Structure formats: structure tokens, C-alpha cells
Amino acid sequence: MQNPFKNLFGKKPVEVPKEPKPKKVIPKDSNEPWVNVINTNFDQGNPNQGFMELDWNPAFIVFLKEHGYIGANDEEIVDKWFTDLCKNIGQQLDEESKFVANADILPKKRKKS
């Protein structure tokens, strides 16, 4: 059955020319340093034990080497960086949890005599 209202106003649909989609740059192929977490696993019985699987591009390795990370292979370099990153996050959280940071080194108030 035809739609009687389809041509009622005599307008034809205007086709908008489609612009070609820009080529998608895959971060792994980029010249910019890139790293991504692709998998996380933890022990069901002991959730503070586990690992993260990372993916990175060659530019990320160059970036890490330029910032002093060395290793026998790319995995070792990334592992050292990731270990440092986790340690720094832990330190920041520890510092933020203290009521008065560095309270033990603050000067003591003198009593008035």
C-alpha cells in the first residue's frame, strides 16, 4: 500500500553530501606516547593480589627512556614505570590520610614563662 501523504507537498528529500570520514588514528600507531590498561585480574581470595595487563606504543618506550627508565626489554621498562607510578599513588594516599602531614617535624610551641 502506498502512502498517500508521501508526495503531498511535492518536496523531494534533499541528499546531503557525505564528507569522507577522517582516517582514525590508532593510538598504538601514533607518534604520541600512549599506554592503556587492557586487562585487570585479581585473586578472589586475596583481592590485594593481582595484576594489570598494559598495552603501549613505541613512542611510550622512547618517552620512558628519555625520562631515565632502562631495562633489558620494553616490558621491563614499562614494569619499572608502572611500579613507580603505583608507589607514588600509594605515597600520595598515605600523605592525604594523615591529619597533619609531617606533624613530627613541626616546631613545638614554647611555653610562656
What is the reported pLDDT for 78? 97
pTM reported for the whole predicted model? 0.60
Residues in the chain predicted with pLDDT less than 70, given as ranges, are 1-14, 16, 21-25, 98-113
Q: How many CB atoms lie within 10 A of CB 63?
A: 17
Give all strands (DSSP E) within 5-94, no chain letters: 35-42, 50-56
CA distance 74 to 57: 10
What is the reported pLDDT for 90? 87
